[in-house]
């Protein structure tokens, strides 16, 4: 029965529109019944959770159809690209748990072939060399509502074009002097079909081909051909390329009979990219956050980058689960970040060991507990999974509890500590608050004097007492000091005026709060990227800044907090 339940959860009976297309293709025996996808990032920035959606889609489809998925770098614009990014992208895809096996490709692998195919287009009078300047090309292109007009160079002979194109390659012209264009239709209502540029002259050092080339193919030209060379059957991309599909098909149709390298007739399918609330997703805006110093780098735990999420403590499983749950469709949508948080909570609830950490300490002296006495109390590591065992926690006369867990004048539904009130200390005893010590000047509560009931020890309670609240705590003399970094959303909604319903996203000034906290001693040997549940607080991950002398934890996500909702009412 439990099997059925989990099956239903992970295998929704409904398929998305891309799977529907693939199922139809399979029914019609297209592509020899093979499914072959690719993830084609440009190595010009770090991957973010929106890319994770695409990665999960492409690799996931390959997996479920027993097909293949390639990793291909779309490196056709050397002026923006760098090996730093090709490395980080590979790391991120691997970390998510996908493998391209031996199929790591680059569009630049095909530069020579791409050149030859361009020559073929010229021979077929389907491409020509244009001498117009960038400004002139723009003017000749027309506008959204007016057709463009033909370039005066449009009718050069194939021979002349061949010669010119060869000279473009051999470096006889300066950057920008000439371009190779497809000869399609300058009056097309689709601007992408108004003789799109195929090649430009650009003397830029390429991270793989060095200075071998001074002409580089455009995305629109390189992409369909790369797909066909690799035998891609379904070329999945985002919505903004929908207008480019006629060009994609034009190129495939123009070359497919002529070129023996084409292993498939790929079909481009477009889906809506991911947007998330409380953050930004464009490479440009993410770069701005880094460059303007709003965050510490691409892997700042507040960033929606894969590397940021990884450092924050997110698991690949949670991210993949998220990508499955959001679905795939064609409508622009913004997913509530609460769903992402739900996914990591669900994953970590099962996996993360529980420990006690007091984020904002309040000293408690248990007056009737013998001075100098230390008890080693047994604590389970995960009530969800008894197999994770137990550990010992030292208990003594002076402890810290959370400041939020005490109120001098508690409201009705406050189940925690208050003057004269009893609560249980998790894994330990029931204590009662006897006296409140305040700072004489500020009136701030600085210490509590409590008593404990020796008959209420966890596991051997003979008192029959029932208390509503259970608090976490650490023993002052045993606790470890740690830096705890609390992260909040990078962006928050702000209403412009009271009547204005328009909300704008503004940078959250409190997206990071650093605390000095006290952690139970069992964490002394914790290692970078280990994850824990700090009981009653949230899930935390050891940051890579952490070492034996200074422990550093990142809050991945807080626990659901019903009390904070009650408190507000």
Partner RNA sequence: UGGGGCGUAGCCAAGUUGGUAAGGCACGGGACUUUGACUCCCGCAUCCGUAGGUUCGAGUCCUCCCGCCCCAGCCA
| Nearest Cα to Cα of residue 357 among 523, 549, 546, 525 | 523
- The distance of closest approach from Cβ of residue 152 to RNA in the complex, given in angstroms and rounded to an integer, is 14
Q: Which stretch binds RNA (CB under 7 A): 175-183, 255-263, 296-304, 545-553?
A: 175-183
| CB contact at 8 A, 554 and 514 | no
- The distance of closest approach from Cβ of residue 76 to RNA in the complex, given in angstroms and rounded to an integer, is 4
Q: 518 to 537, contacts with RNA by CB under 7 A?
A: 533, 535-536
Q: Whose structure tokens read 């010590």?
A: 437
Q: Whose structure tokens read 């200074």?
A: 550
Whose Cβ is closer to RNA: residue 71's or residue 300's? 71
Whose Cβ is closer to RNA: residue 441's or residue 565's? 565
| Nearest Cα to Cα of residue 65 among 39, 36, 40, 38 | 36
Q: 310 to 339, contacts with RNA by CB under 7 A?
A: 325-336, 338-339
Interaction between residue 138 and RNA (CB under 7 A): yes
Chosen residue from 21, 162, 186, 218 binding RNA by CB under 7 A: 218
Residue of 273, 287, 360, 392 marked catalytic: 273
Interface characters, 425-454, with RNA (x: CB under 7 A):
-xx---------------------------
Whose Cβ is closer to RNA: residue 146's or residue 499's? 146
Q: Is 273 a catalytic residue?
A: yes
Q: Is 283 a catalytic residue?
A: yes
The 8-class DSSP code of residue 199 comes to: E
Whose Cβ is closer to RNA: residue 221's or residue 262's? 221
- The distance of closest approach from Cβ of residue 544 to RNA in the complex, given in angstroms and rounded to an integer, is 26
- The distance of closest approach from Cβ of residue 379 to RNA in the complex, given in angstroms and rounded to an integer, is 9
Q: Which three-class secondary structure state does DSSP give residue 448?
A: strand
Interaction between residue 171 and RNA (CB under 7 A): no
Q: Which stretch binds RNA (CB under 7 A): 61-69, 75-83, 294-302, 434-442?
A: 75-83
Chosen residue from 42, 92, 299, 543 binding RNA by CB under 7 A: 42
The 8-class DSSP code of residue 559 comes to: P
Chosen residue from 294, 296, 342, 360 binding RNA by CB under 7 A: 342
Interface characters, 226-245, with RNA (x: CB under 7 A):
-------------xxxxxx-
Burial class (CB in 10 A: 0-12, 13-18, 19+), 81: buried
The 8-class DSSP code of residue 206 comes to: B
Interaction between residue 421 and RNA (CB under 7 A): no
Chosen residue from 171, 176, 386, 454 binding RNA by CB under 7 A: 176
Q: 107 to 136, contacts with RNA by CB under 7 A?
A: 132-134
Q: Whose structure tokens read 């371009």?
A: 179
Interaction between residue 183 and RNA (CB under 7 A): no
Using CA atoms, how far apart are residues 503 and 500, in angstroms rounded to an integer?
8
Q: 490 to 519, contacts with RNA by CB under 7 A?
A: none
Strands (E), 22-79: 36-39, 68-73
Interface characters, 256-285, with RNA (x: CB under 7 A):
----------------x----x--------
Residue of 103, 208, 265, 283 marked catalytic: 283
Q: Which stretch binds RNA (CB under 7 A): 82-90, 92-100, 197-205, 513-521?
A: 197-205
Interaction between residue 562 and RNA (CB under 7 A): yes
491 to 274, 289, 290, 497: CA distances (angstroms)? 17, 11, 14, 18
Q: Which stretch binds RNA (CB under 7 A): 391-399, 412-420, 488-496, 501-509?
A: 412-420
- The distance of closest approach from Cβ of residue 400 to RNA in the complex, given in angstroms and rounded to an integer, is 16
Give the per-residue SS3 of 280-339. Answer: CCCHHHHHHHHHCCCCCCCCCCCCCEHHHHHHHCCCHHHHHHHHHHHCCCCCCEEECHHH
Using CA atoms, how far apart are residues 445 and 213, in angstroms rounded to an integer?
72
Interaction between residue 470 and RNA (CB under 7 A): yes
Q: What DSSP string runs through 506-555?
A: EE-TTSEEEEEEEE-GGGGG--TT-EEEETTTEEEEE-TT--SSSEEEEE
Residues in contact with RNA, counted by CB under 7 A, come to a total of 92
| CB contact at 8 A, 2 and 33 | no
Give the relative orientation of helices 219-230 and 245-255 as an angle to the nearest 10 degrees.
60
Interaction between residue 561 and RNA (CB under 7 A): yes
Whose Cβ is closer to RNA: residue 95's or residue 219's? 219
End-to-end CA separation in angstroms for the chain:
40
Interaction between residue 413 and RNA (CB under 7 A): yes
**The dihedral sign for the CA sequence 257, 263, 264, 269:** negative
- The distance of closest approach from Cβ of residue 427 to RNA in the complex, given in angstroms and rounded to an integer, is 5
- List active site positions: 42, 273, 283
């Amino acid at each position: 029965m439990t099997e059925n339940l989990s099956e239903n959860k992970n295998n929704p009976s409904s398929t998305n529109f891309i799977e529907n297309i693939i199922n139809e293709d399979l029914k019609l025996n297209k592509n020899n019944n093979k499914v072959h996808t690719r993830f084609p990032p440009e190595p010009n920035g770090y991957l973010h959770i929106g890319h994770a959606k695409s990665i999960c889609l492409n690799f996931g489809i390959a997996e479920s159809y027993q097909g293949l998925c390639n990793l291909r770098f779309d490196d056709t614009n050397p002026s923006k690209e760098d090996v730093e990014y090709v490395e980080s992208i590979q790391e991120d895809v691997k970390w998510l748990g996908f493998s391209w096996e031996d199929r790591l490709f680059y569009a630049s692998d095909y530069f020579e072939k791409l050149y030859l195919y361009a020559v073929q287009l010229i021979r077929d009078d389907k491409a020509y060399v244009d001498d117009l300047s960038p400004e002139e090309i723009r003017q000749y292109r027309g506008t959204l509502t007016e057709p463009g007009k033909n370039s005066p160079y449009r009718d050069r002979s194939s021979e002349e074009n061949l010669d010119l194109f060869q000279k473009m390659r051999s470096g006889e012209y300066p950057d920008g002097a000439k371009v190779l264009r497809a000869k399609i239709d300058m009056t097309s209502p689709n601007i992408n079909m108004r003789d799109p540029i195929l090649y430009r002259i650009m003397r830029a050092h390429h991270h793989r081909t060095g200075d071998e080339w001074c002409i580089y193919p455009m995305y629109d030209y390189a992409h369909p051909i790369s797909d066909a060379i690799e035998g891609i059957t379904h070329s999945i991309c985002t919505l903004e390329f929908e207008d480019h599909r006629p060009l994609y098909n034009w190129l495939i149709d123009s070359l497919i009979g002529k070129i023996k390298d084409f292993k498939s007739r790929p079909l481009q399918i477009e889906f809506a990219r991911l947007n998330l609330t409380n953050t930004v997703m464009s490479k440009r805006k993410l770069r701005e956050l880094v460059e303007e110093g709003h965050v510490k780098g691409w892997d700042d735990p507040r960033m929606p980058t894969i590397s940021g999420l990884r450092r924050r403590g997110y698991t690949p499983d949670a991210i993949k689960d998220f990508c499955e749950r959001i679905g795939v469709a064609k409508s622009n949508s913004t997913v509530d970040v609460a769903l992402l948080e739900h996914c990591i909570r669900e994953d970590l609830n099962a996996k993360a060991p529980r420990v006690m950490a007091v984020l904002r300490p309040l000293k408690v002296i248990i007056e009737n507990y013998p001075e100098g006495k230390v008890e080693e109390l047994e604590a389970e590591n995960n009530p969800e999974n008894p197999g994770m065992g137990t550990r010992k926690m030292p208990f003594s006369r002076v402890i810290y509890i959370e400041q939020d867990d005490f109120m001098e004048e508690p409201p009705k539904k406050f189940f925690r500590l208050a003057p004269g009130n009893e609560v249980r200390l998790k894994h330990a005893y029931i204590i009662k608050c006897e006296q409140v010590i305040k700072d004489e000047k500020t009136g701030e509560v600085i210490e509590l004097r409590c008593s404990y009931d020796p008959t209420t020890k966890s596991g051997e309670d003979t008192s029959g007492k029932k208390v509503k609240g259970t608090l976490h705590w650490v023993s002052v003399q045993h606790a470890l000091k740690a830096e705890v970094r609390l992260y909040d959303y990078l962006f928050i909604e702000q209403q412009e005026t009271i009547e204005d319903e328009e909300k704008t996203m503004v940078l959250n000034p409190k997206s990071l709060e650093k605390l000095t906290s006290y952690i139970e001693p069992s964490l002394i040997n914790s290692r970078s990227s280990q994850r824990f549940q700090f009981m009653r607080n949230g899930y935390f991950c050891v940051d890579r800044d952490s070492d034996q002398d200074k422990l550093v934890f990142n809050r991945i996500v807080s626990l659901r907090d019903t009390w904070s909702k009650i408190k507000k009412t």
